[in-house]
Amino acid sequence: MQRRAAAVYIAFFVVLAAGSYAFIATADGPSITVDDPEYQLENGSEIDAGERTYTVTAIEESESSGGHGGGGGVTLEATLSRTNNSAVFAETWEQNSTVSIESEDRHLFIPNATDPDEATLRTVPGNGSNANLTYDDQWYVVRESEDGTRTLTPYLQDEAFSNTTISEGDEIEFQGNATTVANITQETVLLEWQGERTESLTISDGEAFILNSTDTEGTEYIPHFRSGESFVLTTDVEGYHEQVEEQQHFHERINGVWGIVIISSIATVLLTGLAYLPRKE
């Protein structure tokens, strides 16, 4: 009688486990769709964002710790690149350093003033001149004669060298660029110039980002990769997130059904074992 009752329960859990597994196998979860995207892109496509034009320069896989799937793994990402023809470059010269300007080395001197607005660039001893610079409370030029004797003369008074004065706002030629002396402090000279620079932005599947048209304005997009070769950009960020939440809810339900499969299978094994235990008379 006990075995007959156990068989009923065993059959119940077997049917429950099988039915749950069949549901998992046939369930078709919601997929993310983007209707009327602002951009449909592939490698080499261009994005006209007002004053700026971006080009898709790469689409590739990367390791992810999150993403819209809610877990780690591999996600798709793309690189958007643009050429900035007026990028600002900068270099800082330190007090008493040697700098190269107009294909010639110069030594930098900044006057000891509270707020200096100019500095001096002085030529330095060239190769083969038998002269070197040394510092002992002030800079000296050291010259060695053929008989081995050495003479020292104050660098700033030595007539073999010449000075060039630069002031804040001056434009000088530096590394082939028209360069502005932007700022002078007691310790440094700041140089700035404009040039061409490639700027890149990496975007990942399901992660919203702002694509700037100027330095202060931009539009928020979210990318959705249809494959490893193409993707779309949409401004419907809220609608995209709603679809992601639907996917997550579906996965939570599937996880719950998996729990039923596991518990039913365990119950089946336990009941089977208990039903065939030897009976004590």
Output the CA torsion sign for 183, 188, 192, 197: negative
**What integer pLDDT is reported at residue 136 of this predicted model?**
84
Structure tokens at 221: 């997009």
Does a structural domain hold residue 248? yes
139-144 and 131-135 as β-strands: parallel, antiparallel, unpaired? antiparallel
pTM assigned to the model: 0.63
- Shared domain for 188 and 257, answered yes or no, is no
Q: 256 with 192, same domain?
A: no
165/98 same-domain check: yes
Residue 65 included in any domain: no
129 within a domain of the structure (yes/no): yes
Q: How far is CA 276 from CA 15, 147, 281, in A?
A: 20, 113, 15
Q: What average pLDDT does this structure show over 70-85?
A: 84
**Could you give the CA distance from residue 220 to residue 73 in angstroms, rounded to a whole number?**
25
Q: Are 87 and 195 in contact (CB under 8 A)?
A: yes
User: Could you tell me which of 278, 260, 255 has the C-alpha nearest to residue 12?
Assistant: 260
Alpha helices, H only, the chain:
2-26, 237-275
Does residue 225 sit within a domain?
no
Same domain, 115 and 184: yes
| Residue 82, token pair as written in the block | 């643009």
67: its two tokens: 């993403």
Residues of the domain holding 125: 90-197
Whether residue 254 sits in one domain with residue 192: no
Looking at 197, 223, 249, which one is the last position of a domain? 197
Question: Do 112 and 165 have their domain in common?
Answer: yes
pLDDT category, 130, cuts 50, 70, 90?
A: confident
CA dist., res. 187 & res. 243, Å (int): 57
Q: Which residue among 146, 175, 197 closes a domain?
A: 197
Q: What is the pLDDT of residues 132-148, one digit of tens each?
A: 888 888 899 998 887 87
Same domain assignment for residues 118 and 177: yes
- Picking from 252, 257, 225, the residue whose alpha carbon sits closest to that of residue 67 is 225
State how many domains the chain has.
2
125 and 185 share one domain: yes
Q: Is residue 165 part of a domain?
A: yes
Classified as helix, coil or strand, 93 is strand
Residue linked to tokens 């900068």: 90
Are 112 and 172 in the same domain?
yes
Examine the fold and report which residue of 197, 226, 256 is the final residue of a domain before the chain moves on.
Answer: 197
Residue 202 in any domain: the answer is no
Confidence of residue 60 (pLDDT cuts 50, 70, 90): very high
pLDDT-wise least confident of 29-33, 151-155, 252-256 = 252-256
In 136-277, which ranges are E strands? 139-144, 150-154, 163-167, 171-174, 177-184, 188-204, 209-212, 218-225, 230-234
Tell me, yes or no, whether 186 and 105 share the same domain.
Answer: yes
Could you tell me if residue 98 is inside a domain? yes
The proportion of the chain whose per-residue pLDDT surpasses 70, expressed as a percent, equals 76
The whole-number pLDDT of residue 232 equals 95
Mean pLDDT, the chain, rounded, equals 83
The predicted structure's pLDDT at residue 1:
45
Q: Do both 110 and 161 map to the same domain?
A: yes
Percent of the chain with pLDDT over 90: 42
Residue 258 within a domain: yes
Same domain, 98 and 192: yes
d(CA 117, CA 96): 16
Half-sphere exposure of 163 (CA within 13 A, CB side): 13
DSSP-assigned letter for residue 214: S
